[in-house]
């Protein structure tokens, strides 16, 4: 009995050693830039071989950079990119939360805040609807760019080179209504930009709708999508018009909080 209690009280360690060591390298270089392999290995208590391999991996990904004239390392450009995005997302979440809560109160549907990461989307935050039958994404979930209300909206405003790459395929079919024809998808994206919103029906999840509007930064760039989503059986003509007005107003309110129109 005593042994069972000891086993159950042990705290499991799910850390991956290599990832943990890589984080130690980044933290060390953040505090003490321009360290060489020997100095860094001594500081971290790692062998020079392991330290060199960690640095080589991080350098290949742009997280550290080697001085061209000396064998010393500093943090790379990718760290700046991640830091900037983290700051943007935290600011975006703070600005969006009140509007998302008001939107859920007004619609009782699922409210999603979606951003683009490369050639896929990320659900940054979500509020579950109040209906018995709910369809909602999970925060942290990745998705495609060519299907779904917020996803297609973000693709419509993506850089032309990325948009062209996604449209060129391959385009996975999720439901019978998923657009998989490149020419048709391209025309649909042009329509979304012209109208300033996107309404998707049954193209990513069977029996679901999504009404999405763009959120912009101080430069007027689309950085996120706000959507109302739910079961298609509740989506009649009246709600379609109502939800569109509500989500456009909410997205505009968030954009104002982020400084749109202040420049």
pLDDT for position 105: 95
| Residues 108, 63 share a domain | no
**Is residue 146 one of the residues assigned to a domain?**
yes
User: What CATH number has the domain bearing residue 34?
Assistant: 1.10.10.10
User: C-alpha angle with apex 236: 235 to 238, nearest 5 degrees?
Assistant: 115
Q: How far is CA 219 from CA 4, 163, 196, 240, 260, in A?
A: 60, 20, 17, 30, 7
User: What span, in angstroms and rounded, lies between the C-alpha atoms of 159 and 156?
Assistant: 9
**Is residue 262 one of the residues assigned to a domain?**
no
- Statement: residue 3 has pLDDT above 50: no
User: What CATH number has the domain bearing residue 150?
Assistant: 3.30.450.40
Higher pLDDT, residue 262 or 169: 169
**Which pLDDT tens digit goes with each residue over 227-259?**
999 998 889 999 999 999 999 999 999 999 988
pLDDT for position 172: 95
Q: Would you state the structure tokens that stand for residue 11, as one six-digit string? A: 């705290």
Q: What is the pTM of this model?
A: 0.69
| Residues 88, 13 share a domain | no
Q: Would you state the structure tokens that stand for residue 9, as one six-digit string? A: 């009280």
Q: Please give the full DSSP string across the chain, using - where no structure is assigned.
A: -HHHHHHHHSPP----HHHHHHHHHHHHHHHS-SB-HHHHHHHHT--HHHHHHHHHHHHHTTSEEE-SSSS-EEE-HHHHHHHHHHHHHHHHHHHHHHHHHHHHHHH-SEEEEEEEETTEEEEEEEE--SSSS-----TT-EE-SSSSHHHHHHHHTS-HHHHHHHHTS----SSTT----HHHHHHHHHHHHHHT-EEEESSSSTTEEEEEEEEE-TTS-EEEEEEEEEEGGG--HHHHHHHHHHHHHHHHHHHHHTTTT--
**Is residue 101 one of the residues assigned to a domain?**
yes
Q: In the listed set 52, 75, 98, which residue is the last one of a domain according to the structure?
A: 75
- Statement: residue 35 has pLDDT above 50: yes
The answer to whether the bond into 67 is cis (omega within 30° of 0) is no
Q: In the listed set 75, 90, 113, which residue is the last one of a domain according to the structure?
A: 75
**Which pLDDT tens digit goes with each residue over 186-212?**
999 999 999 999 999 999 988 999 999
User: What total of structural domains would you count in the chain?
Assistant: 2
Nearest CA to 73 among 88, 103, 51? 51
Residue 238 half-sphere exposure toward CB, CA atoms < 13 A: 3
pLDDT for position 13: 72
Query: How many Cβ atoms from other residues are within 10 Å of residue 68's Cβ?
Result: 5
- Statement: residue 126 has pLDDT above 70: yes
Domain encompassing residue 126: 81-257
pLDDT for position 133: 60
| Residues 59, 115 share a domain | no
| Residues 47, 111 share a domain | no
Q: What are phi and psi of 143, to 5 degrees?
A: -150, 175
Q: How far is CA 96 from CA 5, 50, 76, 241, 246, in A?
A: 46, 43, 31, 22, 14
| Residues 239, 136 share a domain | yes
| Residues 54, 153 share a domain | no
Q: In the listed set 75, 96, 127, which residue is the last one of a domain according to the structure?
A: 75
pLDDT for position 183: 96
**Which pLDDT tens digit goes with each residue over 108-121?**
999 999 999 888 99
| Residues 92, 66 share a domain | no
**Which pLDDT tens digit goes with each residue over 79-113?**
777 776 666 667 888 889 999 999 999 999 999 99
Do 232 and 203 form a contact (C-beta atoms < 8 A)? no
């Amino acid at each position: 009995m005593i042994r069972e209690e000891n086993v159950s009280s042990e705290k499991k360690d799910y850390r991956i050693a290599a990832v943990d060591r890589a984080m130690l390298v980044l933290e060390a270089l953040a505090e003490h830039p321009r360290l060489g392999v020997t100095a860094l290995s001594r500081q971290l208590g790692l062998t020079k071989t392991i330290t060199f391999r960690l640095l080589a991996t991080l350098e290949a990904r742009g997280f550290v950079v080697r001085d061209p004239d000396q064998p010393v390392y500093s943090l790379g450009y990718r760290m700046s990119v991640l830091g900037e995005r983290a700051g943007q997302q935290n600011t975006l979440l703070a600005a969006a939360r009140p509007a998302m809560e008001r939107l859920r109160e007004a619609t009782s549907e699922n409210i999603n805040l979606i951003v683009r990461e490369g050639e896929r989307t990320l659900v940054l935050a979500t509020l579950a609807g109040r209906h018995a039958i709910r369809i909602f994404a999970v925060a942290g979930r990745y998705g495609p760019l060519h299907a779904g209300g917020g996803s297609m909206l973000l693709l419509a405003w993506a850089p032309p080179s990325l948009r062209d790459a996604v449209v060129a395929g391959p385009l996975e079919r999720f439901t019978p209504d998923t657009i998989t024809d490149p020419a048709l998808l391209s025309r649909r994206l042009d329509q979304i930009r012209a109208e300033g919103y996107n309404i998707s029906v049954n193209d990513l999840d069977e029996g679901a709708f999504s009404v999405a509007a763009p959120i912009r930064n101080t430069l007027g760039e689309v950085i996120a999508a706000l959507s109302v989503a739910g079961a298609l059986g509740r989506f009649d003509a009246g709600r379609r018009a109502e939800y569109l007005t509500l989500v456009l107003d909410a997205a505009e309110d968030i954009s104002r909080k982020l400084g749109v129109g202040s420049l």
